[in-house]
Amino acid sequence: MPDVLVIGGATEAMLARMSEKFTVHKWAEHDMDWLEENAEKITHVVTNGHDGVRPEIMAALPNLQMISCYGVGYDAIDTTEAVRRGIMVTHTPGVLNDEVATTAVMLVLACYRELLRDDAYVRSGEWEKKGSAPLTRSLENQTIGILGLGRIGQAIATKLAPWNPTTVYHSRTKKDVPYTYYDNLEAMAADSDILICITPGGAETRKIVNAEVLAALGPKGTLINVARGSVVDETALIDALQSGKLGWAGLDVFEQEPKVPQALRDLPNTVLLPHVGSATVETRTAMANLTVENLLQHLETGTVATPVPE
């Protein structure tokens, strides 16, 4: 049987299906010395969008044919090198759109309606002592700027539609959608009440949400990030939240996951999640199935169901 290297773990169901057609090797149980001895027989890799394939691992696999990524994001995989070497790379778009969009909406509502503050108010007994909690904000009729209007970005826009927003967006290209396009992110932020980040990670978008963009969003603005931690300048974000230059932030991703700066954890105007945008049983099962289906289809026919655009 051909050999597959699994980086970053896999579910028991995934391992069982792969084991029917492959000899499975778990990278967590090996090191570069083992890889040097076994590299030639490995033809496939299964990984995820966070771990990807480190350059030294990819370089050590002379017969690598295919990388199947468990996740829609794949910025931790060097697709330029993969294209150069003729290595097929796949990901799992589509099946997680709605779940990540739901997480974005949840963060928006949690920030606007001060969910964590009011939950603590009840648990602490302050409601009984002091009476009603301070008022919050309405989500109705807000201007929502979406950074990255791909499949998930459009799903977010659809899920937020019942709150009657004005939806605007910034992306690499203008799209055929009923929303207003901005070719300048800072200008869009200045016109928005909420900025939702759902753009791919990577060098092109690294810290694209910088101090200037955050200042444009302003003291009454809310930043939501369900993209990659690298998209937002975390130092600038902390400064903006501490100084009042930015109002609120709902974050599912961070620059150095799982390490989250203490300053962010201490701030009362943040809602923080441990990168769980797609983390439901149903969605993760669908992602796992598609990851393995891409792998098995490539083995069988040399084709795949969901290649990355490159």
Token pair 């289906």: residue: 293
Query: Bridge-partner residues for 60, per DSSP?
Result: none
Of 117, 151, 275, 284, which one is the catalytic site residue? 275
Of 37, 126, 257, 310, which one is the catalytic site residue? 257
- Write out the two tokens for 187: 């200008």
Determine the Cα–Cα distance for residues 56 and 62; give it in Å rounded to an integer: 12
The alpha carbons of the chain give a radius of gyration, in whole angstroms, of 21
> Is 298 an annotated catalytic residue?
no
User: Are 107 and 271 a contacting pair, CB within 8 Å?
Assistant: yes
> Is 265 an annotated catalytic residue?
no
| Relative orientation angle of helices 97-112 and 151-160, to the nearest 10 degrees | 50
Query: Bridge-partner residues for 271, per DSSP?
Result: 250
Backbone angles phi, psi at 249, to 5 degrees: -145, 135
Of 25, 91, 170, 228, which one is the catalytic site residue? 228
Q: In what order do the strands lie in the sheet with 66-70?
A: 23-26, 3-6, 42-48, 66-70, 88-90
Peptide bond into 258 cis (omega under 30): yes
Determine the Cα–Cα distance for residues 247 and 86; give it in Å rounded to an integer: 47
The strand ranges marked E within 215-263 are 222-225, 248-251
> Is 275 an annotated catalytic residue?
yes
Through-space distance between the first and last CA atoms of the chain, rounded to whole angstroms: 29
Compute CA distances 288 → 66, 163, 165, 280, 309, whole Å: 16, 33, 34, 12, 20
> What is the H or E stretch that residue 82 is in?
helix 79-85
Catalytic residues: 228, 257, 275
